[in-house]
Amino acid sequence: MRIRRTELVAPRRLELTQADIAPASGEALFEVAATGICGTDLAIYDGHYAVPLPITLGHEFAGTVVEVGQGVPGDLLGRRVVGEINITCLAAGGVTPCAACRRGLASHCTARTVLGIDRAHGAFASHALLPARCLHVLPGRIALEDAVFVEPLAAAFQTFELSPVSPGEVVVVLGAGRLGVLVCAVAAYLGARVVAVSRSEAKRARALAMGAEAAVAPDAALAAVRDRTEGLGADIVVEATGSPDGLAQALDLVRPRGTIAAKTTCGLPSRGLDLTRLVVGEVSLVGSRCGPFGRAIAALASGAVRVGDLIEGRFALDELAAAMAAARTRAKVLVRP
Amino acid sequence: MRIRRTELVAPRRLELTQADIAPASGEALFEVAATGICGTDLAIYDGHYAVPLPITLGHEFAGTVVEVGQGVPGDLLGRRVVGEINITCLAAGGVTPCAACRRGLASHCTARTVLGIDRAHGAFASHALLPARCLHVLPGRIALEDAVFVEPLAAAFQTFELSPVSPGEVVVVLGAGRLGVLVCAVAAYLGARVVAVSRSEAKRARALAMGAEAAVAPDAALAAVRDRTEGLGADIVVEATGSPDGLAQALDLVRPRGTIAAKTTCGLPSRGLDLTRLVVGEVSLVGSRCGPFGRAIAALASGAVRVGDLIEGRFALDELAAAMAAARTRAKVLVRP
């Protein structure tokens, strides 16, 4: 099939191209309905997060399967889908799994490519390909535009897969950007008391709408946390500022033996982590990335997590540069081919 | 009782003083047999790790109880002891525990003072005081000089209390200094395969003697780890270099979803932590500090962990400045009053 896609050929340089693609054995070709822009896209676009170029970015997508390769059940045709972005040796049909896959670390497969990030063309395109094993069929209740949030929502869930939270615990979310507000929603969904921290009044309002019990400016964060924790500090502080320098405030706000959950992938080195404070406080800093699609789909399907209000712009495929610019200040910007 | 102690009155300025002290209710006064110098002592001495001054440093000690306060059983008199250094609100006899102690985080008591570190005079002295609840009586098998290692050995055990290791897992220890080699010994005692990394040939030899299966220079570390892990990386990398810049190599050596256990309390900010790599690799950075004295005493008493060869210098109380200088290059330097 002849498709259109917008490739990043060098940092900040995009080209709309055409290509003929067809599903290989085990693959499905899907028509893209909408694709979201996230912080990782911006970091790669700016050249801070280095990946092999050229590549078509775009890894938060929803679409419809229009063609399947050999060995893929035909009933996938016409189904509305989202997709896990790690194309692992197992997902790609390999017969000898790598050391990571053998240990159950599939999302860290040493042979993987990553849709829209690492050597696999992504979804800022009319169509794209994924192994059928990566796809999740959407329940009818979820609109395709809302389904774009499954991938980042799964990443928000992954925060608490690796740093479990108990109901009633206090979770601080630093940064109420596009990922931060999803983390607020998931933490509230899991029963936490959520305090969002943002300089922006608009973002604070958004965090409250997504389930935070309080949303404060950075200079009011310490008091808000102490009030809720007998002065001890938050059980979990999620660093979702998108800046390399959010760690210092996270250390101020976390309790002894608490966790800082890192979500920022800005590609820039973090300056001035006070390792001594981390050691003395026995604090854990836990990175987390791609997460459980099933939980994200269930949360959206149940209506407990609502994302539609976060969509603040829709752009065409040939407007990707403008879409990237808009994504720097807006919550979720969609590209619709 | 009239005692002698060497107080730090300003960074790098020591004064030998005399004082009259007596055990308050619940306290025991002990005669110091020997006190070790550790990296924290050096960081405070140099002024990098700021604490209220003046203070008598010294928190790795062994001694003999010579006087007890009201409410302390008399059979503690004459016993050979080591002591936990966190003087918590409970240990100090408080009736209303603080928020941390109520949550079982006694070593993070918000009202605590810390022997030889924070507002409680330490053991670079002829005698010192601790609440009797902080003391552990030594089994006869352990020599008093070896018992000086109980406190740092407990800190080494704490690494794996907070980052559990399974037998056969690969543990890299960056830095084979005085704490690093104890971590090597504990990791080997717990069944791990230990790779020590140090620039110094002498330190590598010491790490091998303490239980590491391999000891390599930094530029050979990646190959040594890959050889043992099918290319995946170490399960746990212990950062015990004492330098703020050990984290970058730790990130190179740890496997996806592995743990970097931080032990360095040098008081200096860490430059250039690549947070993006931590997030993408879903790596955890876990600080840990004071640990279980009981496990450390048992490991020494069993003979499975031997520490005597690490003692590389003995100084008198009025030679503390020279002892500090010696501790910069030697394994364990003792001060004997």
The answer to whether the beta carbons of residues B261 and B239 sit under 8 Å apart is yes
Is B108 in CB contact (< 8 Å) with chain A? yes
- Predicted TM-score (pTM) of the model is 0.91
DSSP 8-state secondary structure symbol assigned to residue B318? G
Check A284 against B280: CB less than 8 A apart. no
Residue ranges of B 42-61 with Cβ closer than 8 A to chain A: 43, 49
Question: Distances in Å between the alpha carbon of A118 and those of A152, A159, A236, B319?
Answer: 17, 22, 31, 60
| A194 closest CA partner among A172, A179, A175 | A172
pLDDT digits (tens), chain A, 337 positions: 999 999 999 999 999 999 999 999 999 999 999 999 998 999 999 998 899 999 999 999 999 999 999 999 999 999 999 999 999 988 877 778 999 999 999 999 999 999 999 999 999 999 999 999 999 999 988 999 999 999 999 999 999 999 999 999 999 999 999 999 999 999 999 999 999 999 999 999 999 999 999 999 999 999 999 999 999 999 999 999 988 778 889 999 999 999 999 987 766 667 667 888 999 999 999 999 999 999 999 999 999 999 999 999 999 999 999 999 999 999 999 999 9
**Closest Cα in chain A, distance from residue B10 (Å):** 21
The answer to whether the beta carbons of residues A156 and A319 sit under 8 Å apart is no
Amino acid at the residue B218: P
* Mean pLDDT across B36-44: 94
| Whole-number Å distance between alpha carbons of B231 and A108 | 13
Strands A55-56 and A284-287: unpaired
* Mean pLDDT across B261-272: 75
Is B286 in CB contact (< 8 Å) with chain A? yes
Stated as kind and residue range, the H or E segment containing A184 is: helix A178-189
The answer to whether the beta carbons of residues A148 and A60 sit under 8 Å apart is yes
| Whole-number Å distance between alpha carbons of A133 and A85 | 11
Is A288 in CB contact (< 8 Å) with chain B? yes
Structure confidence at residue B266 (pLDDT) = 66
> pLDDT digits over B47-78, tens only?
988 999 999 999 999 999 999 999 999 999 99
Mean pLDDT of chain B: 94
Structure confidence at residue B229 (pLDDT) = 97
Structure confidence at residue A218 (pLDDT) = 96
* Mean pLDDT across B249-268: 89
| Whole-number Å distance between alpha carbons of A233 and A141 | 39
Check B283 against A287: CB less than 8 A apart. yes
Structure confidence at residue B242 (pLDDT) = 82
Structure confidence at residue A264 (pLDDT) = 78
For residue A284, the chain B residues in CB contact (below 8 A) are 162, 284-287
CA quadruple A180, A186, A191, A192: dihedral, nearest 10? -20
**Closest Cα in chain A, distance from residue B30 (Å):** 27
CA angle, corner B32, sides to B30 and B36, nearest 5?
135
* Mean pLDDT across B247-265: 92
Question: Distances in Å between the alpha carbon of A249 and those of A225, A240, A260, B37?
Answer: 12, 12, 10, 32
Structure confidence at residue B267 (pLDDT) = 64
Check A256 against B105: CB less than 8 A apart. yes
Model confidence at B93, pLDDT cuts 50, 70, 90, reads confident
Check A287 against B281: CB less than 8 A apart. yes
User: What whole-number percentage of chain B has pLDDT above 70?
Assistant: 98
* Mean pLDDT across B148-175: 97
* Mean pLDDT across B162-191: 96
Structure confidence at residue A140 (pLDDT) = 87
Is A91 in CB contact (< 8 Å) with chain B? no
Structure confidence at residue B248 (pLDDT) = 87
Alpha helices in chain B (DSSP H): 39-46, 99-102, 144-147, 150-162, 178-189, 201-209, 221-228, 247-253, 275-280, 293-301, 320-327
| Whole-number Å distance between alpha carbons of B271 and B243 | 10
Is A257 in CB contact (< 8 Å) with chain B? yes
For residue A279, the chain B residues in CB contact (below 8 A) are 262-265, 287-289
Query: What token pair was written down for B167?
Result: 């037998």
Check B288 against A278: CB less than 8 A apart. no
Chain A residue with minimal CA distance to B264?
Answer: A276
Q: Which of residues A276 and B296 earns the better pLDDT score?
A: B296
Check B276 against A289: CB less than 8 A apart. no
ipTM of the complex in this document: 0.90
> pLDDT digits over B97-127, tens only?
999 999 999 999 999 999 999 999 999 999 9
* Mean pLDDT across B141-167: 96
Residue ranges of B 121-160 with Cβ closer than 8 A to chain A: none
* Mean pLDDT across B188-212: 97
Strands A60-68 and A80-83: antiparallel
Structure confidence at residue B309 (pLDDT) = 94
Chain B residue with minimal CA distance to A100?
Answer: B232
Structure confidence at residue B255 (pLDDT) = 97
DSSP states of B105-155:
-GGG-TT-EEETTBEE--SSBSEEEEEGGGEEEPPTTS-HHHHTTHHHHHH
Query: What token pair was written down for A191?
Result: 């029963």
Q: Examine the pLDDT at B246 and tell me if it is beyond 90.
A: no
Check A281 against B108: CB less than 8 A apart. yes
Structure confidence at residue A128 (pLDDT) = 98
| Whole-number Å distance between alpha carbons of A29 and A2 | 12
Beta bridge partners of A323: none
Structure confidence at residue A96 (pLDDT) = 85
Query: What token pair was written down for B2?
Result: 């009239």
State whether residue B102 is helix, strand or coil. helix
